[in-house]
Chain A
Amino acid sequence: MQEMNNNPVRQSDYLLEVENLVKWFPIKSSFFKRTVGNVKAVDGVSFKIRRGETMGLVGESGCGKSTCGRTILRLQEKTGGEVRLNGQDIFALNKEQLRKLRPRMQIVFQDPYSSLSPRLPIGEIIGEAVREHGIVPQGEFDDYITRVMEVCGLPPYYKDRYPHEFSGGQRQRICIARALALSPDFIVCDEPVSALDVSIQAQIINLLKKLQADFGLTYLFISHDLSVVEHISDTVGVMYLGSMVEYAETGKIFANPLNPYTQALFSAIPIPDPDAHIHRIILQGSIPSPANPPSGCKFHTRCSHCMEVCKHAAPKWLEVEEGHWCACHLYDDAQAKAEAEEAMARAKRSQAQAG
């Protein structure tokens, strides 16, 4: 795994840059297969992750976190926007080039029960792609797999066993070993601990942290568990209905959440103290359909601070404080305010015309 550090092409501060990423899933009519609408799973998301850091991506179920992670790795095609890994536009590559780039970017899925092929022994699951990409010379192959397994806390004699013989925590270690064996720069952890017991969660999180320290990995850590995200992330992005609503360093965002949605989300973190009184912000209603998101600010239907402007104009993505980005009309500066007013007026005019 020495080759992990002799990185690549262009050294920049940021390993991953995502710009205005859009992923829509078309809804087809039943018979003629015409597109009658789109589920806007990811609708214009931008962020950057520094080399060797972890970004946490949080949000409710169905807000597009996982879709975002998968589209970044081009496990599905994008609808718009750009993703650059090491300065390389991932969507500009052809199939074969993309396949060659795969070892650099890996993913650990949420469900360790379904993400391992039941017909392959562990050694093959971990080693298959190592052989395929020629990560190590043939002669060192066995030693290499053994080493990777040991690093991930798996005894080497597990090699010939099948996935069903393992517990959830062990399976997730296998998934991590599988990803790690390709000596990636970047790993998307798509809710890697949500399916596990709390005690096992801690083990896996600590393993991920240790691997990051040892191999200089960069993570995109997708989760709905805020305590876990707080523990592991350097920066945190909050998503709501396909859009990023707030982004900052972990300390900042947890100490001072700006967006009303983030405030509501963070107030839901359980505190392990029976005497603690917490003021929970209870959101009314359920998350709107991403096929038909509300106009203006997508959160306005459930927001306690909702203003007239929120219903008509989408908030701008602004740097409210140093390194603390937020999309909410509460924090509009003068220019943004003027633009929002104008957008609102326009929306009202067209509504009146239509009416």
Chain B
Amino acid sequence: MLKYTVKRLLYSVLILFFVMFIIYILMYNMPSGYVETKARELASRPGATKSYAEWLEDLNAQYGMDKGVVGGYFVWLGNAVRGNWGDSWAWTIPVTQEFHNTVWYSFALGFASFIFEILIAIPLGITAARKQYSFTDYFTTVVAMVCISMPTFFVATVLKYVLSVKLGWFDLSGMQGRDYMTLTQFGKILDVAKHFVMPLITLVIISIGGLMRYTRTNMLEVLNADYIRTARAKGVPEKTVINKHAFRNTFIPLVTMLGGTLPGLFSGALITETLFSIRGIGYASYTSMTQADIPFIMFYLAFISILTLLGNLISDLLYAAVDPRVRLS
């Protein structure tokens, strides 16, 4: 197991190297780079002393864009492995500082939606499977399909219209109310929590459909297995059949899938955060991308890549942990 883990980690490093290289090439060749925008802006200022071309050359040197793609990548890589991720061009603070400022909002949002997703989708999936072809089954299936099909912006817009515009329960967007500064410490926490409700509902709605269908499919497969018939033939109470024999086996694919999504809790929800102006990591990365902020994007995407690789590894390790049949080698 240890040998396997080490091997996988070494592979991951290799994969990461190439992934980041590809991302760097893409960022470097963006049609309207940060440096060009900046140079144009400076050159067109009243009283500008240098032309656009001169500014461009200057800034390229300043920002390290004059070393070419490969050279630039290795400079970035050299700094990154030493823990120096540089300063964000768009936010003008160290990249890690901006990350630290934003990631915890994303984590809170992701974690809460993850919990709700599990609490709602798994019991629904199991019920639907147990009552296959019943009204309950068809109803949950239709709901799941609707949830899967609706795009995030649509859900968010409908929620905003109903809960905010019509009912006036929540603010349209943002993380704080107008009177935030006048509130007590506890009141401030409540205020922020209240602003997280609509993004949370959005995230839960778009994610439960998939998990519910996944649970249902797996549960159905297990319920039709011979060993469930064996358990019933043994005269074990139906509750034990479902909870012990069936769910334990449904659990295997579920755990591996959910284990794989764990690192995703930190990666933020780019669209939802942007729609509700939640200053999480997703929103920050979106803003950075629109401004071609290479250091921050490189950092954020490296972070996501590491999380994804880690998620796959966790899911494989969990598989071995929960399924006695699997031996990793």
Write the residues of chain A forming the contact surface with B, with a CB cutoff of 8 angstroms: 33, 70, 73, 75, 98-103, 106-107, 109, 111, 114-120, 128-129, 132-133, 162, 164, 175, 178, 182
Query: Which B residues touch A114, using CB under 8 A?
Result: 225-227
A-B contact pairs, 29 of them (CB 8 A): A33-B133, A70-B229, A75-B229, A75-B233, A103-B235, A106-B234, A109-B230, A111-B226, A114-B225, A115-B226, A115-B229, A116-B230, A117-B227, A118-B227, A118-B323, A118-B324, A119-B249, A119-B323, A119-B324, A120-B248, A129-B234, A129-B235, A132-B234, A132-B236, A132-B237, A132-B240, A133-B235, A162-B324, A182-B234
- 1/0 contact trace for B220-254 toward A, CB 8 Å? 00000111011111111100100011001100100
Which residues of chain B come closer than 8 Å to A103, judged between CB atoms? 235
Q: Which residue of B lies closest to A102 (CB)?
A: B235
In the assembly, what is the distance between CA of A101 and CA of B233, in Å?
10
Q: Smallest CB-CB separation from A114: which chain B residue?
A: B226
Closest to A73 in B: B233
Shortest Cβ gap from A58 to chain B (Å): 22
The verdict on B325 contacting chain A, using a C-beta distance below 8 Å, is yes
**B222 nearest CB neighbor, chain A only:** A117
Shortest distance from the beta carbon of B264 to any chain A beta carbon, whole Å: 27
In whole Å, how far is B194's beta carbon from the nearest beta carbon of chain A?
Answer: 43
Cβ-neighbour of A164 out of B234, B237, B244, B324 (below 8 A)? B324
Residues of chain B within 8 A of A75, CB atoms compared: 229, 232-233
Q: With the chains together, A117 CA to B243 CA distance in Å?
A: 13
Contact check, B233 vs A117: say whether CB atoms are below 8 A apart.
Answer: no
Chain B contact residue count (CB 8 A cutoff): 22
Q: Find chain A residues with CB under 8 A from B325 CB.
A: 118, 162, 164
Bound: A107/B231 CA distance, A: 11
Q: A33-B133, A118-B323 are in contact. Are A99 and B237 (CB under 8 A)?
A: yes
Cα-based distance from A33 to B132 in the complex (angstroms): 13
Q: Looking across the interface, which residue of chain A has its beta carbon closest to that of B238?
A: A95
Our pick among A70, A117, A132, A175 for the contact of B235 (Cβ within 8 Å) is: A132
| A191 CB, min distance to chain B CBs, angstroms | 12
Taking CB atoms, residues of chain B closer than 8 Å to A111 are 226
Contact A102 B234, beta carbon cutoff 8 Å: yes
Q: A128 → chain B, closest Cβ, in Å?
A: 6
**A98–B324 Cα gap in the complex (Å)?**
33
Pick the contact of B233: A106, A120, A133 (CB < 8 A).
A106
Nearest residue, chain A, Cβ from B228: A117
**Which residues from B are CB-within-8-Å of A175?**
230
Alpha-carbon gap, A294 to B245, bound state (A)? 42
Known: A75-B229, A111-B226, A164-B324. A118 touches B235 (CB 8 A): no
Q: How far is the CB of A317 from chain B (nearest CB, A)?
A: 30
Residues of chain B contacted by A162 (CB below 8 angstroms): 324-325
Q: Is the beta-carbon distance between A128 and B234 smaller than 8 angstroms?
A: yes
- CA A162 to CA B237, docked complex, whole Å: 23
Closest 7 CB pairs of A and B: A102-B235, A129-B234, A115-B226, A114-B226, A117-B227, A162-B324, A164-B325
Contacts of B248 in A (CB 8 A): 117, 119-120
Residues of B participating in the A interface, judged by any CB pair closer than 8 Å: 133, 225-227, 229-237, 240, 244-245, 248-249, 252, 323-325
Q: Nearest chain A CB to B329's CB is how many angstroms away?
A: 15
Contact among A101, A115, A133, A164 for B230, CB-based, below 8 A: A115
Interface contact A178-B324, CB-CB below 8 Å: no
Q: Are B230's CB and A99's CB within 8 A?
A: no
CA distance A114 to B245 in the complex (A): 13
Q: Which residues of B contact A107 (CB under 8 A)?
A: 230, 233
Instruction: Tell me, in angstroms, the Cα distance from A326 to B109 when the chains sit together.
Output: 73
| Assembly CA distance A103 to B236 (angstroms) | 10
Select which of A70, A109, A129 is within 8 A of B236 by beta carbon: A129
In the complex, which residues of chain B have a beta carbon less than 8 angstroms from the beta carbon of A115?
226-227, 229-230
List the B residue with the shortest CB-CB distance to A121: B324
For B224, the closest partner residue in chain A by CB is A114
Report the nearest B residue to A109, measured CB to CB: B226
| Chain A positions within 8 Å of B227 at CB level | 114-118
The residues of B that contact A182 with a CB separation of less than 8 Å are 234-235
Query: Nearest chain A CB to B234's CB is how many angstroms away?
Result: 4
User: Do the beta carbons of A109 and B235 come within 8 Å of each other?
Assistant: no
CA distance A100 to B234 in the complex (A): 10
Can you name 16 extra interface pairs (CB under 8 A) apart from A118-B323, A178-B230?
A102-B234, A106-B234, A111-B226, A114-B225, A114-B227, A115-B229, A118-B249, A119-B249, A119-B252, A120-B248, A128-B236, A129-B234, A132-B234, A132-B236, A132-B237, A175-B230
CA distance A42 to B324 in the complex (A): 39
- Minimum Cβ distance to chain A for residue B251 (Å): 8
Residues of the A chain whose Cβ atoms lie less than 8 Å from the Cβ of B245: 117, 120
- The distance in angstroms between the C-alpha atoms of A33 and B236, with both chains bound, is 32
With most chain B CB atoms within 10 A of its CB, the pick from A103, A106, A129, A178 is A129
Chain A CB count within 10 A is highest, among B231, B234, B235, for: B234
Query: Which residues on the B side are within 8 Å of A116 (C-beta)?
Result: 227, 230
Chain A, residue nearest B251 (CB): A119
**Closest residue of A by beta carbon distance from B326:** A164
- Complex-state Cα separation, A107 to B235, whole angstroms: 11
Alpha-carbon separation in the docked complex, A106 to B233 (Å)? 7
Q: Which chain A residues border B232 with CB–CB below 8 Å?
A: 75
| Closest-CB distance, A168 to chain B (whole angstroms) | 14
Complex-state Cα separation, A116 to B323, whole angstroms: 14
CB atoms of A100 and B235 under 8 A apart: yes
**B234-A117 in contact (CB<8A):** no
Q: Find the residue from B233, B236, B237 having the highest chain A CB count within 10 A.
A: B233
Smallest beta-carbon distance A83→chain B, Å: 15
- A128–B231 Cα distance when bound, in Å, is 9
Residues of A within 8 A of B235 (CB): 98-103, 129, 132-133, 182
Q: Is the CB of B231 within 8 A of A117?
A: yes
Most B CB within 10 A of own CB, among A73, A103, A114: A114
**CB of A190, distance to nearest CB on chain B (Å):** 10
CB distance from B126 to the nearest CB of A (A): 16
Distance of A178 Cα from B249 Cα, bound (Å): 20
